[in-house]
């Protein structure tokens, strides 16, 4: 069982990213900050939000969504308006974009984005 994220940590990530996270994603982070989600029968590692409450949560949230988004933005083919929410550990990312109401899969080889369904439970 993962650790819940404090509301202020989720809000801080949204402020830094200048985006409102999808309601389902936000609720998942508040319930379990990180862990796995299922997308089209594949498991993805959900990036947590940064939580500096104590040493334990700092260690568990170092690969947080702000950091991972900034890293992805260094790639030319990564969409400039996207936020990285999960990885398949092969270079592909699940992303959300400001103003969108769905999740997309970003392919690191082609740079293409495809809408996908995510199971948040």
How confident is the model at residue 99, as a pLDDT?
84
How confident is the model at residue 98, as a pLDDT?
83
Angle formed at CA 99 by CA 93 and CA 2, multiple of 5 degrees: 45
CA distance 56 to 31: 17
Give tens-digit pLDDT for 49-99: 999 988 988 888 888 999 999 999 999 999 999 999 999 989 999 999 988
pTM: 0.92
Q: Please compute the mean of the pLDDT values over residues 20-29 and round it to a whole number.
A: 95
CB distance 51 to 6 below 8 Å: yes
* Tokens of residue 111, six digits: 């740079």
Q: Residue 40's pLDDT band (boundaries 50, 70, 90)?
A: confident
Domain that holds residue 24: 7-119
CA distance 34 to 18: 20
Total residues belonging to the chain: 121
Q: Assess if residue 1 is contained within a domain.
A: no
CA distance 80 to 32: 27
Would you state the torsion angle of the CA atoms of residues 51, 52, 54, 59, taken in this order, to the nearest 10 degrees? Answer: 70
Q: Please compute the mean of the pLDDT values over residues 30-47 and round it to a whole number.
A: 93
Q: Assess if residue 33 is contained within a domain.
A: yes
Q: State percent of the chain over pLDDT 90.
A: 81
What's 64's domain CATH number?
3.40.1580.10
Q: Residue 111's pLDDT band (boundaries 50, 70, 90)?
A: very high
Residue 1 has pLDDT above 70, yes or no: no
Domain count, the chain: 1
């Amino acid at each position: 069982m993962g650790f819940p994220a404090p509301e202020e940590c989720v809000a801080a990530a949204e402020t830094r990213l200048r985006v409102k996270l999808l309601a389902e994603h936000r609720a998942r982070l508040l319930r379990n900050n990180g862990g796995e989600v299922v997308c089209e029968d594949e498991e993805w590692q959900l990036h947590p939000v940064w939580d500096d409450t104590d040493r334990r949560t700092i260690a568990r949230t170092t690969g947080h969504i702000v950091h991972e988004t900034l890293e992805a933005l260094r790639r030319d083919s990564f969409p400039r308006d996207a936020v990285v929410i999960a990885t398949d550990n092969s270079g592909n990312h699940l992303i959300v974009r400001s103003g969108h109401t769905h999740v997309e899969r970003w392919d690191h080889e082609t740079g293409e984005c495809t809408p996908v369904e995510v199971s948040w439970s």
